[in-house]
DNA sequence: ATAACCATGCACAATAGATGCATGATTGAT
DNA sequence: ATCAATCATGCATCTATTGTGCATGGTTAT
């Protein structure tokens, strides 16, 4: 589906460049080589007769004209997506490719079933799933490598909800639980508040990561500055750290705890009740596409099933 | 300028096909070979996963989906033209190609000076002029072979003024004069009415031509059905026919009479005062482009100069 | 000063895309 | 009813575009 765009691929490349700022990163995202990206951007300028890039130190940056073109192209892309969606609605579309992107747990719990369902209902459809963090998912959407992304929306989101390029649909609010060692004084409790855990040594992800932002946001809400004792990238690692008694951590409800030993999961109560919002994002205009609509439906059903399997008080 | 479009050239080809209905004609208009057009359309369908064409007799015709896509693409094209125009306004554009199209006298009197002026003010600009009749000019605009056309607007215009694809600017209303043999009883008059010439044998262009429509429109306005004695394609031929005493004819004020012998030109008065309206047409959205703006300005100046060189009563 | 980084140019390779002719299918004319 | 004309398409071929990999030159950080 995303392959072979009706808009000049060089413009797409320019748009990706506008997002990541370097030729190398653009190459990585688009799947081209750096030389190809360089050549494409040069060609684009030649064809339009406009200077879009300027040398800037050891890199290049967009000129005012370049920024203008990129900004204006949002509407153009959306217009095309919208047209394609409507055309696909009119005459049913036979075959194409469909790229999905998502983040770890989301990918596992939502994207995998979606891909499986699509594969069976639409055998001719070439479904591809890419695991990527939210920021990269947006990049991949712009680069047209994927057509739908399931991502974790954050309060301090660099990609505003009303971004001209995307349309987002809330799938599910996933609460964060606390995981503590089984021999911890609070381990026998059903629920805790963040204040009760303020003095604990915390295990979190590296600063700048998706969940670190959620972590700090949760604690600033209750006015506490927790002590970060350790950092882990994978949930498994974090759980293991907690199991080893190194500290406590936050774990999304969706993340399974099955391999954990000596670790207890507790619901959080009180005003600082952190949740991560899981949303589906598509390129603006493409939301009317029957393929997207079907996918969103499947995702929504899956999300509702997850919600309904939980105790009421968690909703 | 028109070369190398940002919108997939195959979509442009489809749009041209939608206008002319056959692969062969599309090939002629776009400058491709028939095989290339065929292959492009096939590719387009493959890429979109949509069936856009159906076999119809010995030709092909658009499916409902195809018509839908073409209709919807108007907005997309306009959006791009608009964006390009704005970008060119923002950062001045260095070099490109610029295609002009126009019809005989219009081309000679308006387009040639325009091309000459542009050539001197913008040496880097590659200006190309194509002589073509109005209908073909619109086709060439859609095919992106030309960017601006000077054409004769007609009452019974197949291309409505509010066509989604184009934007038109009135340049000049060019009145039609009567040419009669020098030895004709009315030859000494300054002006005549159409009624006075109702019984004359008329020389006009072939039915279906640009000027035949103007001709009939003028006479239906005064409620007279003239007798068409002869048909001529070129003005020169028509003038020669009149000079040979075969009949009378209509000649636009802009068309020169310099080579004529035994032919007199008379102003037409009365309610049936036929004029041809000369307008500039561009693809919708592109009108904001500095190049287009400059061109329209030059054309307007030229048109005003022509008007001001005429007696007041002709305006 | 050296190393790392970034973009670009060039030679080469792969691929897409156009051409021209031949073919098959359909319509209209003799 | 046959023949010619028209139209689209497939195929072999060629060309031009486009991408890759490596080398180069300029720029920043250590």
pLDDT tens, residue by residue, A177-204: 999 999 899 998 989 998 889 889 998 8
**Quick check: is B63 in a domain?**
yes
Residue A260, pLDDT score: 66
Residue A210, pLDDT score: 72
Torsion angles phi and psi, residue A204, rounded to 5: -145, -175
B41 Cβ nearer than 7 Å to chain D strand: yes
Are B64 and A11 inside 8 Å of each other by CB? no
Give the tens place of pLDDT for each residue, B218-260. Answer: 888 788 888 888 888 778 888 888 988 888 999 988 888 876 6
**Quick check: is A73 in a domain?**
yes
* pLDDT at A247 > cutoff 80: yes
Nearest-CA residue relative to C1' of D26: A58
Residue A9, pLDDT score: 96
Are B65 and A73 inside 8 Å of each other by CB? no
Which residues lie across from A170 on neighbouring strands?
A: A279
Give the tens place of pLDDT for each residue, A33-91. Answer: 999 999 999 999 999 999 999 999 899 999 999 999 999 999 999 999 999 999 998 88
Residue B68, pLDDT score: 96
**Quick check: is B96 in a domain?**
no
In three-state form (DSSP H/G/I as H, E/B as E, the rest C), the secondary structure along B205-259 is CCCCCHHHHHHHHHHHHHCCCCEEEEECCCHHHHHHHHHCCCCEEEEECCCCCCC
- Structure token digits, residue B256: 């020169």
Interface residue of A72, A85, A96 to substitute, partner B, most B CBs within 10 Å? A72
Instruction: Assess contact for A80 and B76: CB atoms under 8 A.
Output: yes
- The domain spanning residue A25 has which CATH number? 1.10.10.10
Chosen domain end from A35, A64, A91: A91
Residue B182's Cβ-side half-sphere holds a number of Cα atoms within 13 Å equal to 8
Statement to judge: residues A178 and A271 lie in one domain: yes
- The domain spanning residue B218 has which CATH number? 3.40.190.10
Residue A158, pLDDT score: 47
**Quick check: is A300 in a domain?**
no
**Quick check: is A169 in a domain?**
no
Residue B114, pLDDT score: 93
Torsion angles phi and psi, residue B273, rounded to 5: -110, 90
**Quick check: is B59 in a domain?**
yes
Who contacts A79 (Cβ-Cβ below 8 Å, separation ≥6)?
Answer: A285, B75, B76, B79
Interface residue of A5, A15, A69, A97 to substitute, partner B, most B CBs within 10 Å? A69
- Owning domain of residue A63: 1-91
Give the tens place of pLDDT for each residue, A118-156. Answer: 999 988 888 888 888 888 899 999 999 999 999 887 654
Chosen domain end from B91, B116, B140: B91
Chosen domain end from A39, A59, A91: A91
User: How far, in Å, are B33, B125, B229 from residue A215 at the CA level?
Assistant: 63, 58, 92
**Quick check: is A97 in a domain?**
no
Average pLDDT, chain B: 87
Restricting to A residues 31-50, those with a Cβ less than 8 Å away from any Cβ of B are 47-50
**Quick check: is A83 in a domain?**
yes
Our count of domains for chain B comes to 2
Give the tens place of pLDDT for each residue, A4-35. Answer: 689 999 999 999 999 999 999 999 999 999 99
- Structure token digits, residue A304: 């509702």
Nearest-CA residue relative to C1' of D8: B59
B79 has a chain A CB within 8 A of its CB: yes
């Amino acid at each position: 589906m995303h392959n072979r765009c009706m808009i000049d691929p060089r413009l797409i490349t320019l748009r990706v460049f506008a997002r990541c700022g370097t030729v190398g990163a653009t190459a990585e995202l688009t799947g081209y080589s750096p030389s190809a990206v360089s050549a494409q951007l040069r060609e684009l300028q030649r064809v339009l007769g406009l200077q879009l890039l300027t040398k800037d130190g050891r890199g290049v940056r967009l000129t005012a004209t370049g920024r203008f073109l990129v900004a204006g192209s949002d509407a153009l892309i959306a217009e095309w997506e919208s047209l394609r969606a409507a055309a696909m609605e009119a005459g049913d579309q036979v075959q194409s490719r469909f790229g999905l992107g998502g983040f770890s747990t989301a990918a596992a719990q939502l994207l995998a079933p979606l891909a499986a369902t699509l594969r069976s209902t639409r055998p001719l459809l070439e479904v591809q799933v890419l695991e990527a963090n939210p920021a990269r998912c947006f990049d991949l959407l712009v680069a047209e490598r994927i057509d739908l992304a399931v991502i974790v929306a954050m309060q301090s989101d660099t990609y505003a909800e009303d971004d001209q390029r995307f349309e987002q649909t809330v799938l599910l609010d996933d609460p964060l639980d606390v995981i503590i060692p089984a021999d911890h004084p609070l381990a026998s409790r059903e629920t805790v508040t963040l204040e009760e855990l303020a003095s604990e040594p915390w295990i979190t992800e590296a600063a700048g990561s998706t969940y670190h932002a959620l972590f700090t946001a949760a604690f600033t809400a209750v006015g506490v500055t927790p002590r970060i004792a350790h950092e882990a990238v994978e949930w498994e690692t974090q759980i293991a750290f907690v199991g080893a008694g190194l500290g406590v951590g936050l774990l999304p409800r969706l993340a399974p705890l099955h391999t954990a030993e000596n670790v207890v999961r507790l619901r959080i109560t009180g005003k600082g009740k952190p949740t991560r919002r899981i949303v589906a994002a598509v390129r603006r205009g493409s939301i009317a596409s029957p393929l997207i609509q079907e996918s969103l439906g499947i995702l929504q059903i899956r999300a509702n099933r997850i919600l309904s399997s939980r105790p009421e008080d968690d909703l």
